[in-house]
Structure 1
Amino acid sequence: MSLAALMAIYFVQLAAAMSPGPAVLLAARTSLREGFGRGVWLAVGIGLGAVIWAAAALFGLALVFKVAPALLTTLKFAGAAYLLWLAFKMWRHAGDPLDQHIPDLPRTRSVPRLVWLGISTQLANPKPAVFFGTVFLTFIPPSAPGWAYAAILGIVMFNDTVWNVLVARIFSLEKTRAAYLNLKTVIERVFGGLLALLGLKLALT
């Protein structure tokens, strides 16, 4: 497999990682509320979730969906329900006061829970499944060697993790945080509304 092919996969998948969606939204919100460190662990989970979808695609996900389309439909509605549940929680607690002290280690959400939140958010969204099962696979030659699969999964992990770490960094800055604290209820409800819209769009398309 050529370097040019790997570079094409890198840029196509990077564009997918950068597209706005539930994962990016949660990375921004987590960093605003809980600081950069927690946002980084969430980003690691998002990267791992993307790797799971990519690995599934490489090992036959597209064929499974073709043979059993009802599976994709079930996955779509389950993902929509999960996003709507997250949106409801955001909206319900939008008016709660925020503890401005950010400890080094979270007490309410441990590192494993943050990583799992990132993974589960990715797995609840069939959009990556469709991307990896269609567009993504067209860039991978059928005769790709084993090392190429490892390299491709590394690219996916790098792109999704680093992009969401950058999002976390931007939204953890003091100026961004100060603006958030002044408009917490409004911003939380906007975030919740956006997640709800994403969930409804997922269910209806």
Structure 2
Amino acid sequence: MDIDLQTYMPTLAITGALTLGAMSPGPSFIFVARRAISLSRRHGIFTALGMGTGALVLSVVALLGLQTIFSLMPVSYSIFKIAGGCYILFLAFGIVRSARIPLQSIDATRCQDISLFPSYLLGLGTQLSNPKTAIVFASVFTTLLPQNIPTYFYIVVPICTFLSNAGWYLIVALVLSASGPRQAYLKFKQFIDYLSGSVMGGLGLKLIISR
């Protein structure tokens, strides 16, 4: 059976572009890494699945015309950008606030009290709160989608987007929850938390004040 690559090229191109976007450093990477190292591998995995679900949601919205909405109503993007920046600042504040808490205390108390579902929701919220990610999705889809979108795209593309994003963050969670990175985090926890929180806070402020 002959395979018509032209039929699958838009899906492959979109998946590849969004995977490269997910691999670029940003709040999502920092948050998944920290959950995996400071809490547990399972928390990191569920956070990664939340990131993948957020990517799936954004892909569906982009397919339905996110770029058109932002073009017709510029104020909607401004509201989205400010809300996303505030959410990232909130996450950054939480990281900085916990910088002085020893890792042993987090393991003994918080890991038992924090269920896996909140980690999933935090991953989902982090992914959806970043307007830059939404713009990347909208731009990629606008550029690479065929003029006449086949019906199956509305199923295949979101699934591929979920698999690519969740797959990357699962790798991050699995690698960084290993013994070596965990011991390094234990040794330099306060510095790493302050640095991570500062970077995330800077990204949040940039989203709020940028035009």
Partner of 1:139: 144
Shift, 1:101, TM fit = 8.2
- Provide the aligned C-alpha RMSD in A: 1.8
Match of 1:194 among 181, 196, 199: 199
**What SS is found at the alignment partner of 1:20?**
coil
Look up the equivalent residue of 2:38 and give its one-letter code: R
- In the aligned structure 2, how far is the partner of 1:159 from the partner of 1:102? 30
| 1:135 Cα deviation from its structure 2 partner | 2.4
Aligned counterpart, 2:11:
6
Give the aligned partner of residue 114 of structure 1.
119
Shift in Å, 1:111: 2.0
1:48 Cα deviation from its structure 2 partner: 0.6
* Percent of aligned pairs with the same amino acid: 33
Q: TM-score, normalised by structure 2?
A: 0.91
- 1:79 paired residue among 73, 81, 84: 84
- CA distance in 2 between counterparts of 1:107 and 1:70 reads 43
How big is the shift at 1:106?
Answer: 4.5
5 Å-filtered alignment, 1:40-51, equals: 40-51=45-56
Counterpart-to-counterpart distance in 2, 1:62 and 1:182:
45
Conserved 8 A contact 1:91-1:188: yes
Structure 1 gap segments, 5+ residues each: none
- Give the superposition deviation at 1:140: 0.7
Please give the residue correspondences for 1:149-160 in structure 2 after superposition, counting only pairs within 5 Å.
149-160=154-165
Select which of 43, 57, 64 maps to 2:62.
Answer: 57
Unaligned runs of 5+ in 2: 1-5
CA–CA distance in structure 1, aligned partners of residues 161 and 190 of structure 2: 34
CA–CA distance in structure 2, aligned partners of residues 37 and 126 of structure 1: 27
Aligned counterpart in structure 2 of residue 35 of structure 1, from 28, 40, 44: 40
- Alignment correspondent of 1:18: 23
1:74, distance to aligned residue in structure 2 (A): 0.7
Asked if the contact 1:45/1:119 (under 8 Å) is kept, the reply is yes
In structure 2, give the amino acid aligned to 1:129.
Answer: A
Q: CA deviation at 1:99?
A: 2.5
2-side partners of 1:51 and 1:112: how far apart?
A: 18
Q: Which residue of 2 aligns with 1:130?
A: 135
CA shift, 1:100, in A, is 7.0
Matched to 2:191, the amino acid is V
Structure 1 residues 150 and 100 mapped into 2: Cα distance closer, same or farther (>3 Å)? same
In the alignment, the residues of structure 1 paired with residue 44 and residue 105 of structure 2 have an alpha-carbon distance, to the nearest angstrom, of: 16
Give the deviation of 1:204 after TM superposition: 2.5
Q: TM-score, normalised by structure 1?
A: 0.93
Which shifted more, 88-97 or 4-13?
A: 4-13
Counterpart check, 1:163 vs 2:168: yes
Q: Which amino acid aligns with 2:171?
A: L
Task: Give the aligned length.
Answer: 204
Letter in 2 for 1:84: L
Matched, 1:183 2:188: yes
Q: Could you tell me whether the CA contact under 8 Å between 2:40 and 2:111 is conserved in 1?
A: no
